[in-house]
């Protein structure tokens, strides 16, 4: 069985997070404007309460918890590598 290349996994993870975050930002910023009584008003793309709640949950997962998970994993790997180097000497 061939081992996977760790660099490809790291680069793939970084690319996935950047693409997902960009997609979420584009979706959130999708809005319409209208002029009512000489005033420009902002109308969000999600008009129902359910779609707004779903977008908030989706936003929290992709913009907070997913990057947090990646950062915790990376810091854990760094700490593990440092402990391994220190314990060998």
Report angle CA 63, 48, 44 to the nearest 5 degrees. Answer: 60
pLDDT digits (tens, 9 = 90+) for 27-61: 666 666 677 788 877 776 666 778 778 877 887 88
Assign 1 a pLDDT band (cuts: 50, 70, 90).
very low
Q: What is the pTM of this model?
A: 0.49
Each domain of the chain, given as residue ranges in start order, spans 6-88
Residues 6+ apart with CB under 8 A from 52: 44, 46
The share of the chain scoring above pLDDT 70, in percent, equals: 79
CB 21 within 8 A of CB 62: yes
């Amino acid at each position: 069985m061939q081992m996977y290349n760790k660099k490809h996994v790291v680069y793939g993870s970084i690319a996935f997070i950047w693409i997902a975050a960009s997609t979420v930002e584009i979706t959130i910023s999708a809005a319409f404007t209208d002029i009512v009584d000489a005033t420009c008003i902002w109308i969000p793309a999600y008009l129902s309460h359910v779609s707004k709640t779903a977008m908030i949950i989706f936003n929290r997962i992709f913009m907070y918890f997913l990057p947090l998970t990646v950062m915790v994993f990376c810091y854990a790997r760094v700490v593990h590598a440092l402990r391994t180097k220190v314990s060998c000497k």
